[in-house]
Amino acid sequence: MTTTISPALIMGSQAPRLGSLPPLSLYIHIPWCVKKCPYCDFNSHEVRPEGKDMPEAEYVAALVHDLETAVPQVWGRQVVSVFFGGGTPSLFRAQSIETILSAVRALLPLELLAEVTLEANPGTFEMQKFADFRAAGINRLSVGIQSFNRAHLRSLGRIHDDNDARRAIEIAQRNFDNVNLDLMYGLPDQTLEDARKDIETAVASGVTHISAYHLTLEPNTLFHRYPPPLPDDDLAAEMQLMIEQTLASGGYGNYETSAFAQPGQEARHNMNYWLFGDYLGIGAGAHSKISYRDKILRQIRYRQPKEYLENTLARTVDAGPALMEQHEVGRNDRAFEFMMNALRLTGGFTTETFVERTGLPITSIQRQLDEAENRELITRDYQRVVPTLLGRRFLNDLLQIFLPEKRKE
């Protein structure tokens, strides 16, 4: 006689195991920028005019060493995408980016047509420099435009104006086939017509990808301490709807809460995040998520550049990476962390992906799925779970259903 053991009993006796490891991306953080924006809560640090507080060569050496110490954690796994974020990575010389990418290729199996993205701000654009970035191996550029309105750019503390923004797009498109523009709406004193002009200008440029974010007042920012006059919720909602309609008319699919792409041009790196893939993060304050068969780890590098440099360069390869923090993602948190990412996707996720990435049976969240469906926040069948328009509009309410019950692991 064959005895069937229920998944619940197995889950109660041991940690869930992954049948296969998810795709792996590499994130490289370059923390310096020309000027800290009043709304920015990223780990970024202003460079003094003389630039002596941006030790570029030493930081590149630390990044390479950081990668060397981390390789054993992801040994043999292919990297599907690379992302240089910041700060403003385009402040670095193309030669520095080439040195980093050469080390990546030497230490990790990089997929043949891997997406390699560099973030850039319009105030740092030079024609030859960006041609050199392309030659170094960058094949996707993400440009922080934020707005084409000169007054709004000033209120956001940006170092570029509307003319710089247009010139940056021209230079980007001369050198790259795959270009993303970051735009923001809900800006101080912004009208619906202002927001319309911004998004129409972006669509007219013909770039492959547009990210449109609602300005939020994040803690530990100047805007949070001294809030500017922002559009009310009703006007912000009108802006969001107008932006979605304008982009749809321009041929851009809204595949994630704030992301719009021409067909086939979705950001592979970000898609890996949203589907609970793995990522190795190197650089000051970089975060990692690394899966093993029997556990999922989250790591954080030292945040301050000076502290990161000191700890990383002093580390031996055998000792592993210099980490400020590391913890295991507990069984009770896996489902919520998966949902927090995957429910941002317009097309949702397959139940097979949930099982593969969390090691949990889909029945482990049966009650929560039932509640979300009853509240018309999702639709589902045996193969896929998809947020409804209502679920996307009230994403926080939807995610709250999946908050883990705090109990002993």
Residues 121, 146: Cα–Cα separation, whole Å: 10
Which of these, 321, 382, 262, 357, lies nearest to 24 by C-alpha position? Answer: 357
Question: Residue range 282-299: average pLDDT?
Answer: 97
Question: Residue range 378-387: average pLDDT?
Answer: 96
In this predicted structure, the answer to whether residue 407 has a pLDDT above a threshold of 60 is no
Higher pLDDT among residues 408 and 341, named by residue: 341
In this predicted structure, the answer to whether residue 305 has a pLDDT above a threshold of 90 is yes
Question: Residue range 334-358: average pLDDT?
Answer: 97
> Which band of pLDDT confidence, cut at 50, 70 and 90, is reported for residue 316?
very high
In this predicted structure, the answer to whether residue 10 has a pLDDT above a threshold of 70 is no
Helix pair 127-136, 94-107: axis angle to 10 deg = 10
Render pLDDT for 93-102 as a digit per residue (tens, 0 to 9).
999 999 999 9
Q: What percent of the chain has pLDDT over 70?
A: 94
In this predicted structure, the answer to whether residue 163 has a pLDDT above a threshold of 70 is yes
Mean pLDDT lowest among 130-134, 191-195, 217-221? 217-221
Residues 318, 331: Cα–Cα separation, whole Å: 30
Residues 80, 74: Cα–Cα separation, whole Å: 13
What's residue 105's pLDDT?
97
**Identity of the highest mean pLDDT range in 2-11, 45-54, 326-335:** 326-335
Domain spans, the chain: 24-273, 348-400
Classified as helix, coil or strand, 14 is coil
Residues 98, 371: Cα–Cα separation, whole Å: 50
What's residue 51's pLDDT?
59
Residues 57, 61: Cα–Cα separation, whole Å: 6
Q: Is CATH 3.20.20.70 correct for 24-273?
A: yes
Render pLDDT for 19-37 as a digit per residue (tens, 0 to 9).
999 999 999 999 999 888 9
How crowded is residue 105: how many other Cβ atoms within 10 Å of its Cβ? 14
What's residue 14's pLDDT?
63
CA 25 to chain centroid: 11
In this predicted structure, the answer to whether residue 272 has a pLDDT above a threshold of 70 is yes
User: Does residue 237 contact residue 207 with C-beta atoms inside 8 Å?
Assistant: no
What's residue 127's pLDDT?
87
Answer left, alpha or beta for residue 88, where phi above 0 means left and psi between -120 and 50 means alpha.
beta
> Which band of pLDDT confidence, cut at 50, 70 and 90, is reported for residue 125?
confident
Question: Residue range 55-76: average pLDDT?
Answer: 97
In this predicted structure, the answer to whether residue 322 has a pLDDT above a threshold of 50 is yes
> Which band of pLDDT confidence, cut at 50, 70 and 90, is reported for residue 406?
low
* Entry pTM: 0.93
Residues 168, 201: Cα–Cα separation, whole Å: 13
In this predicted structure, the answer to whether residue 92 has a pLDDT above a threshold of 70 is yes
Residue 373 backbone dihedrals phi, psi, to 5 degrees: -70, -40
In this predicted structure, the answer to whether residue 8 has a pLDDT above a threshold of 50 is no
Half-sphere exposure of 164 (CA within 13 A, CB side): 20
In this predicted structure, the answer to whether residue 408 has a pLDDT above a threshold of 60 is no
Higher pLDDT among residues 219 and 386, named by residue: 386
What's residue 55's pLDDT?
95
Question: Residue range 241-257: average pLDDT?
Answer: 98
Structure token digits, residue 147 = 């707005």
What's residue 13's pLDDT?
42
Residues 79, 74: Cα–Cα separation, whole Å: 10
Q: What is the mean pLDDT of the chain?
A: 93
In this predicted structure, the answer to whether residue 255 has a pLDDT above a threshold of 70 is yes
What's residue 42's pLDDT?
86
Residue 85 backbone dihedrals phi, psi, to 5 degrees: -120, 175
